[in-house]
Amino acid sequence: METLLLWLVVAVALGFDYVNGFHDAANSIATIVSTRVLSPRWAVVWAATFNFVAFLVFGTHVADTIAKDVVLQDVLSIGVIFSGLVGAISLNLITFFLGLPTSSSHALVGGMAGAAVAKAGTHVLVVEGIRKIAVFIVLSPLLGLALAFVVFTVVMWVFHRSKKVDRLNRGFRRLQLVSAAAYSIGHGANDAQKTMGIILALLIAAGHLPKGADVPLWVVLAAHTAIAAGTLSGGWRIVKTMGSKITRLQPVGGFAAESAAAATLFFVSASGIPVSTTHTITGSIIGVGTAHRVSAVRWGVAGRVVWAWVLTIPIAAAIAAATYAVVAAF
Amino acid sequence: MDRRALFFLGAAAVSAALYPATDTQHRWVCLALAVVYTVLAVGSALDAWSRQRRHPARPGPRARKGQEAGSGSS
């Protein structure tokens, strides 16, 4: 019975990864769609391919952080992880239908923390690990914003005397394919690893793996396949918010935003820090907007997004805690 | 003061404020961001100042009407 439950929760975790890819497909492709470099259909194929390729580039540091640095491993059980996943998936679906680009990662961290606290109290939280994740909630968009501003300004400065604007735009449209691919690798590396971390925690909790074990290869492949499949299914509501409602982008702006976000994601993934890929690309798009002028950014939309960020962890934690209360009753 | 410079100054302040809360391995990120945003704030302020000097602000439509009315009556 327990084995059946274990595989059921593994399936739910992979379902979360699928929803994550579906939810965040917009981030990978919003700029290439809004600058008309690729049609939406080809854009999702492009993004999904590089989501999958990510496992060849990065290790599993982020997965280790999720499995070991959010809550104490002793408290993890199939019920806790299932409840955490329910909290994260519910919030993802709610914000998807509201068209808000919130963070699947923070929903997951909030869900895990909420369910673990409901089971055993606040002392099971790993303060150091959660603090590192919390600090990078703020730092990752700031990093993306600064990098995008600098990249965009340098590119504009280098090419400002060029009178062949059409040729320049064509060149940057091609370069955007490279930057979108790099961003998709970063997205796959950071977001797929969160699911790997969840499955690793689950296998350790169920006694299938010893404490401190590495992520098995089948988990790595399954997580990347699920996120790529989710991206392939694509979600269009958030594409609109990301691609045009925050600030309007030209190919050069899209290239700068994606390159900056990709560089940020490469750095945090290599450092084992789970961040929100949504926050990072939003910061980068705002960076390009502020390089034009501050009024080019629609701050109302950006503010709505910030509110969604602030509420993600507490709401996911509350749903997960309520779910755990129901699970524990059985 | 220029709005963009203020925005960057705020970002520099947030980055600096996160320095003590960040683990020692990643503190350089906060420091680097605080420095970069401060440089961007100074750059933006200087850019706004030089633009203003080159193209002094024209009086708004209401002020122009007032001027025209004033010149008409004299």
A-chain residues within 8 Å CB-CB of B33? 139, 142-143, 146
Residue B19 clears pLDDT 70, i.e. is over it? yes
Q: Examine the pLDDT at A46 and tell me if it is beyond 50.
A: yes
Give me the domain span that covers residue B14. 3-54
- Indicate the pLDDT class of residue B74, thresholds 50, 70 and 90: very low
B20 within a domain of the structure (yes/no):
yes
Q: What is the pLDDT of residues A13-45, one digit of tens each?
A: 998 888 778 777 777 777 777 777 777 778 888
- In A, what residues contact B, Cβ < 8 A? 128, 131-132, 134-136, 138-139, 142-143, 145-146, 149-150, 271, 273, 290, 293-295
A132 or A293: whose pLDDT is higher?
A: A132
Q: Residue B49 falls within a domain, yes or no?
A: yes
Pick B33's closest partner by Cβ from A128, A139, A290: A139
User: For residue B68, what pLDDT is reported?
Assistant: 60
Cα separation, A237 vs A27, whole angstroms = 11
- The amino acid present at A58, given as its one-letter code, is F
Chain A environment of B7 (Cβ under 8 Å): 290, 294
Q: How far is CA A146 from CA A98, A103, A245, A283, in A?
A: 29, 20, 20, 8
Give the pLDDT of residue B72.
45
List of chain B residues whose C-beta atoms are within 8 Å of the C-beta of residue A290? 4, 7
Say how many domains are in chain B: 1
The pLDDT of residue B73: 40
Sign of dihedral through CA atoms A238, A242, A247, A250? negative
Q: How far apart are CA A180 and CA A51, in angstroms?
A: 11
Nearest to B33 among A146, A293, A295 (CB): A146
Mean pLDDT within A77-106: 84
Q: Is residue B19 part of a domain?
A: yes
The band of A292, judged by pLDDT with boundaries at 50, 70 and 90, is confident
* pLDDT value of residue A139: 93
Whole-number average pLDDT of chain B: 81
Residue B67 lies in a domain: no
d(CA B63, CA B33): 43
Neighbours of A169 (CB within 10 A): 13
Map out the domains of chain A as residue ranges: 2-329
CB atoms within 10 A of CB B33: 23
- Give the pair of three-digit tokens for residue A90: 């519910």
Residue B71 resides in a domain: no
- The span from the CA of A4 to the CA of A12, in Å, is 12
Choose from A2-6, A243-247, A317-321, B53-57 the range with maximum mean pLDDT.
A317-321
